[in-house]
Structure 1
């Protein structure tokens, strides 16, 4: 039997990927270790070298990219295969991205082109996936689906623990005003990211006085990347999500499933957090309208939440992303909006048109079942390795 090594961590889709590899005839051996540092941990590196010496593996697989693992595989001559579910991966901006053993699959085409432009080889575009068979089995064997019925629901973080709030009042008034204006402008732009253009060389030079850039010796990341992703990106996501939920709750029954602080969402029904495997699909199945609000850090790609909603047979309204028309049809598989006013009008329309809404949900489910399975995606990966 063909054998692969997988690094196990808390990626949402890890179990689906592992199960699918086994379904395709691979023996999967797992290795687990809490990583405090993605590129330097000599104890873990030596542990990996020992495991690789003891057996013959076709490749080492991870969800997302780990420089330490890439470097060990380069040293040991073992193919290193990864598939991203987050974007952008700060860990990818690292000298190890040029290792010859890498086979890197990214769901965001913008990042694929970026790294190809940097000279990295064996970088491929691979959209995300969903296991509709697992979800169908879950629904067939559940007797509590009525507990998860909602008019409108959103499942996800509100990112209130973002680093911008911690540093905001250390900034001079003019810099704080500049970033506030940037975030307000970005907040209602769908499928377009202006943050990079707003972080001009002059602004970045000034920002260096207030923002401490922490990175490893081999990191290729810079202040522009770190600040736009880990600081502004999360703060914009918080602003977008809170403003949408507050406005929708003025006219509709809105529920949120989250670990975040919802004290300001007075009219929104707080339903607590839900387990990704057993509960979240029931929310998607039971809600008339499921919202997807993509974090701006995902520049063009289709996030995992959309596949999860459609795979559960749910009706999805999402902000526009540049790659959506590559894989889906608007108002056939889901509905996308171009600004917040457009969202409010479409939510109102589809709540009052049950037949259309249910037809779109059914078409979306059938589309991902036929075209977006983990088996299809992993076969694409394996074919690239031949």
Structure 2
């Protein structure tokens, strides 16, 4: 428990996650809350019955914590930062004491339409204060690169558990759907092109269950599985093309080994990643094809470090940042290659954009501001005042 806050202050239990939870806890303490951080264990979840906090916060939705909070009449706050987050589609998300905030407005809009009243849009953020403390430690020469890409390569369930068991005709249909994602779209609509016959064939041939989530259709689940395979292929293909022309280093999990030439190993989120972002001339972001509007943490992390960001497009970019001023958006691989060549040669322009991106981040996209938005929404709704989906989407 945070001893610096008076006992009269509201108590928030923050269940720990690999990222985000620590920054949320820091922001909540700044706002005057008492904060207790705990790992998610059965004992700690059941311990809520004795501690009786005012609020419980998790990163991504946890149906079991939602059930306990509903039983105790404790306000449960879930900030969903992943796609797909399958527990989000459980019926527990409709509990009266649960408030869910999704980083992707399209997901929040869809669940609103399916009867989830207390779901809202809240983009992720960064913690510039933590970054500034780290930067005081000095630079690391071995992390200076022309171009860097910090991202994991996630082996997919489709490739390992489904595709090897499919008939040639069913596999070909799935492959065509995966390939269709090569054409950028304003929204992720793959589920609309999946019919009941394909769902039945995939279920029968692979034995992989496409049902189980109360608020997610089998077509939507299959769309996620196919799109995750597309993103695997897309990341490898893009990196291979970039590293043919430029000095590119890729940091992430070991799945990259054997796939590309420029794999540089794992980068710790809190220690190494910020130094890479700060010292690379160009930082790449490739948002996954199955993410509709939302922006990954990488975008906010790069900007908070004063790094220059080159990214593919998502709808939230136009609402939260300005292309060519805070960051630069590429349309396709050829555009990406041309932009890399340009900004490697135009250092003054590159650094000016990086400075402005960092300024916008500090002014508009910190965890402190996100926690203010979150609690403003929750307390207004609890007071009987209806609230919009978010400040960016009404």
Provide the rounded CA distance (Å) in 1 between the counterparts of 2:147 and 2:137. Answer: 25
Correspondence for 1:209: 204
Provide the rounded CA distance (Å) in 2 between the counterparts of 1:203 and 1:216. Answer: 14
TM-score (norm: length of structure 2): 0.89
Correspondence for 1:32: 39
Q: 1:152 to 1:47 in 2, by over 3 A?
A: closer
Q: 1:190 to 1:264 in 2, by over 3 A?
A: farther
Higher mean displacement: 159-168 or 99-108: 159-168
Provide the rounded CA distance (Å) in 2 between the counterparts of 1:259 and 1:172. Answer: 32
> Is the CA contact (8 Å cut-off) linking 1:105 and 1:125 kept in structure 2?
yes
Matches of residues 128-143 of structure 1 in structure 2 within 5 Å?
Answer: 128-142=124-138
Specify which of 293, 304, 317 is matched with residue 300 of structure 1.
Answer: 293
CA positional deviation for 1:344: 1.7
Q: 1:169 to 1:216 in 2, by over 3 A?
A: closer
Any idea what the Cα deviations from partners look like across 1:10-58, whole Å, max 9, x if unmatched? 2x11111111111211111233235xxxxxxxxx3x7634x33323422
Matches of residues 111-150 of structure 1 in structure 2 within 5 Å?
Answer: 111-142=107-138, 144-150=139-145
Q: 1:316 to 1:217 in 2, by over 3 A?
A: closer
Aligned residues: 371
Provide the rounded CA distance (Å) in 2 between the counterparts of 1:356 and 1:290. Answer: 15
Instruction: Give secondary structure in 1 for the equivalent of 2:181.
Output: helix
> Is the CA contact (8 Å cut-off) linking 2:100 and 2:118 kept in structure 1?
yes
Correspondence for 2:384: none
1:333 aligns with 2:326: yes
Higher mean displacement: 296-305 or 65-74: 296-305
Specify which of 159, 167, 170 is matched with residue 172 of structure 1.
Answer: 167
Correspondence for 2:10: 2
Provide the rounded CA distance (Å) in 2 between the counterparts of 1:217 and 1:168. Answer: 20
Correspondence for 1:346: 339
Provide the rounded CA distance (Å) in 2 between the counterparts of 1:263 and 1:2. Answer: 48
Q: 1:81 to 1:215 in 2, by over 3 A?
A: farther
Instruction: Give secondary structure in 2 for the equivalent of 1:270.
Output: coil
Specify which of 147, 152, 163 is matched with residue 158 of structure 2.
Answer: 163
Provide the rounded CA distance (Å) in 2 between the counterparts of 1:301 and 1:348. Answer: 28
Q: 1:366 to 1:190 in 2, by over 3 A?
A: farther
Instruction: Give secondary structure in 2 for the equivalent of 1:179.
Output: helix
Instruction: Give secondary structure in 2 for the equivalent of 1:28.
Output: strand
Any idea what the Cα deviations from partners look like across 1:60-115, whole Å, max 9, x if unmatched? 11111011111111111111111111123211111111110011111101011001
CA positional deviation for 1:321: 0.3
Correspondence for 2:195: 200
| RMSD after superposition | 2.0
1:250 aligns with 2:250: no
Correspondence for 1:48: 45
Correspondence for 1:41: none
Correspondence for 1:281: 274
Provide the rounded CA distance (Å) in 1 between the counterparts of 2:185 and 2:81. Answer: 20
1:69 aligns with 2:65: yes
Provide the rounded CA distance (Å) in 1 between the counterparts of 2:314 and 2:268. Answer: 26
Q: 1:350 to 1:241 in 2, by over 3 A?
A: same
Q: 1:47 to 1:157 in 2, by over 3 A?
A: closer
CA positional deviation for 1:191: 4.2
Correspondence for 1:37: none
Q: 1:304 to 1:349 in 2, by over 3 A?
A: same
Provide the rounded CA distance (Å) in 1 between the counterparts of 2:54 and 2:287. Answer: 35
Any idea what the Cα deviations from partners look like across 1:336-365, whole Å, max 9, x if unmatched? 122222222212221221111111111100
TM-score (norm: length of structure 1): 0.90
CA positional deviation for 1:216: 8.9
> Is the CA contact (8 Å cut-off) linking 1:213 and 1:223 kept in structure 2?
no
Instruction: Give secondary structure in 2 for the equivalent of 1:113.
Output: helix
Higher mean displacement: 329-338 or 193-202: 193-202
Provide the rounded CA distance (Å) in 2 between the counterparts of 1:127 and 1:177. Answer: 37
CA positional deviation for 1:240: 0.8
